[in-house]
Amino acid sequence: MNVQIKKKIEDLIGNYIKTDGPGCAINIIKDETVIYEQYFGLANLEHQVPINNKTVFNIGSCSKQFTATVIALLEESGELNVSDSIKNYIPELPDYCNNISVDDLVYMRNGIKDFYHITQFLMGVVEDDFVNSDEVMTLLTNIKEPMFTCGSQWSYGNTGYYLLSIIVERITGNTLAEVAKERIFDVLGMKDTFFRNDRTKVIRHRATGYCKYDYLHRHNEMKSHDVYSLNSDNCELNGPGQVWTTVDDLVVWNANFYDNKLGKMNPNLIEKLTSPGKLNDGSECPYGYGLFLRERKGLKHIYHGGSTPGFLSMYLHIPDHNLAIIFLSNSNYGYYELSKRCGEDLEYYIADLILGLSLEQNKQIENQGALPILELNENTHQVSYQCAESSSVWEVTYRDNELSVNANRSNHFTLYQISDNQFKSKDDKITCQIKNNSIYVEMNDQTFRFDPFIPQLTNQELLEYVSEYYCSQLDTTFICDINNGKLHIKNKNRHRNGIDFLYDSSIKDNFITFNSYCGSMMITFLRDVNKKIQSFVYRDYDGDQREKFIFNRNPKVY
């Protein structure tokens, strides 16, 4: 590798990751040869164990490619027809699953709601706690409708890959962990790779997962941003995650994309893994067999990331240049901090350096994604708005002849004035008009009304929301009361306190909180015909349909 490129990578990572903190392993492979490998930080802080090529990491959702490969191998051997309805194998699923096939699960076009989102962001299961397989199956059988008609849309999720693991077990009589070991890991000699289906398993050379203190202790008034905390993934559900591996073993896995040793050793297997599924209208999904697929700067990119308590992983493969990048980390924050410094996802920044591609586009991405840093003066003021329909929040800074918009604290863009009360984005994709203190936004052939936040409600005004609220589908009760002048919503099951938060009012009957653990959390209270509060729903701007789960007020309480 070019010495200057190597120095840039090591300066970037080495100057950020502390030698006495959690770290990462990174390997770069070009033309099937490792051209760069480096290890930063510690695998275990208590015992001061450094990370090396044999350190075993949890790779989270990067595991999905191995689950999908097992499905492809079962299909190749004639043990499975991916066109079969999943109800053939899991008859206890709801009736809407009759029209969902096995490959609909693989390509994520099935419409089944994500059980991780439900358990964490609706039921309050704490991130490093766990639910077992029986709990998940009970939850799925109680949900009687999909997010969308199967094949009409694509949506990333975890439930489909959990169900694939159940299908593997019911076809073969063995667990996914056993089948993957026999048909993938043993064949390729990946001796330190496995699906963990027992959270008590002793793992030699394992990395311990960490996060910043503030991330887990979000209810603690003490702030200790530079203090590390253990962050453990205790989940035992295989399929969407739970592969543990090393950079050395992933180098072996990457080589199999060039010379397949699995199953019948047919190159068509690799073609299947790296080809997109299609929707009902013939358009392509951005997903193959457990791998994301995209074109970037004229090159095909095959990739997947994985984020799980205490760990973050990334695998990128650019076949046109025989280039692959493997990044494994035992913290849930380091990758994002490094990417922020690059102005682009870390693996793309490194790939561009190696391939000599322009970094100018990266700088543009950095500018679009960064939070606005605007100095307020007499010519500027800030107003927060929310759309009742989508629940999206815009924090708008009015400055001279433009609006600086921070949408949901994740996307920053500028709108430029084109007339007295009209503004437009540079690419003409967003147009807005200010009328009667509201902003009417036109984008994606739709019009959305954003209303300004109302003043914070008094304790007396908050009283009408105070009660208990129960969702029968989730068998979950939340208590709503008042704490320090804010609405406090907490789970009646005190073990499941993952989304116990204090909420500020936003627009009428809507409340919001921003938190490092889960970003923004929004709720909307619903009224009956007599305009009395009768229920509330959780909201989210990304369309995960959490508002379908209604928490009804207990009329006997308060």
Query: Which of 3-12, 445-454, 494-503, 539-548 is predicted with the least confidence, judged by mean pLDDT?
Result: 539-548
Torsion (CA) 263, 267, 272, 274 in degrees, nearest 10: 120
Residue 409 binned pLDDT confidence (cut-offs 50, 70, 90): confident
% the chain with pLDDT above 90: 77
% the chain with pLDDT above 70: 93
CATH number of 380-452: 2.40.128.50
User: Is the pLDDT confidence value at 366 over 50?
Assistant: no
With contact defined as beta carbons under 8 Å apart, do 10 and 38 qualify?
A: yes
User: Is the pLDDT confidence value at 29 over 80?
Assistant: yes
**Residue in the structure block whose two tokens are 């899991």:** 90
pLDDT in tens, 202-215: 999 999 999 887 77
Domain residue ranges of the chain, discontinuous segments joined by +: 57-112+147-219+229-328, 380-452, 459-553
Tell me the CATH class for 57-112+147-219+229-328: alpha beta
Encode 518-544: b = buried (16+ Cβ within 10 Å), e = exposed: bebbbbbbeeeeeeebbbbbbbbbeeb
Closest listed residue to residue 251, CA positions, set 191, 305, 209: 191
Closest listed residue to residue 82, CA positions, set 273, 254, 304: 273
pLDDT in tens, 146-178: 999 999 999 999 999 999 999 999 999 999 999
pLDDT computed for residue 359 by the predictor? 57
Closest listed residue to residue 191, CA positions, set 265, 260, 245: 245
User: Is the pLDDT confidence value at 93 over 70?
Assistant: yes
Tell me the CATH class for 459-553: mainly beta
Residue 376 binned pLDDT confidence (cut-offs 50, 70, 90): very low
**270-348-34 Cα angle (round to 5):** 60
pLDDT computed for residue 375 by the predictor? 41
With contact defined as beta carbons under 8 Å apart, do 320 and 299 qualify?
A: yes
Neighbouring C-beta atoms of residue 30, cutoff 10 Å: 17
Q: Are 380-452 and 459-553 in the same CATH fold?
A: yes
User: Is the pLDDT confidence value at 271 over 70?
Assistant: yes
Q: The whole model's pTM is what?
A: 0.90
For range 138-151, the mean pLDDT = 94
Query: Which of 14-18, 219-223, 283-287, 371-375 is predicted with the least confidence, judged by mean pLDDT?
Result: 371-375
| 2's tokens | 């070019």
Burial of 31 (0-12, 13-18, 19+ CB in 10 A): exposed
For range 248-266, the mean pLDDT = 97
- Strands ordered across the beta sheet of 243-245: 57-58, 243-245, 194-195
User: Is the pLDDT confidence value at 423 over 50?
Assistant: yes
pLDDT in tens, 281-308: 999 999 999 999 999 999 999 999 999 9
Residue-by-residue DSSP string for 481-512: EEETTEEEEEESSTT--TT-EEEEE-STTEEE
Burial of 424 (0-12, 13-18, 19+ CB in 10 A): middle
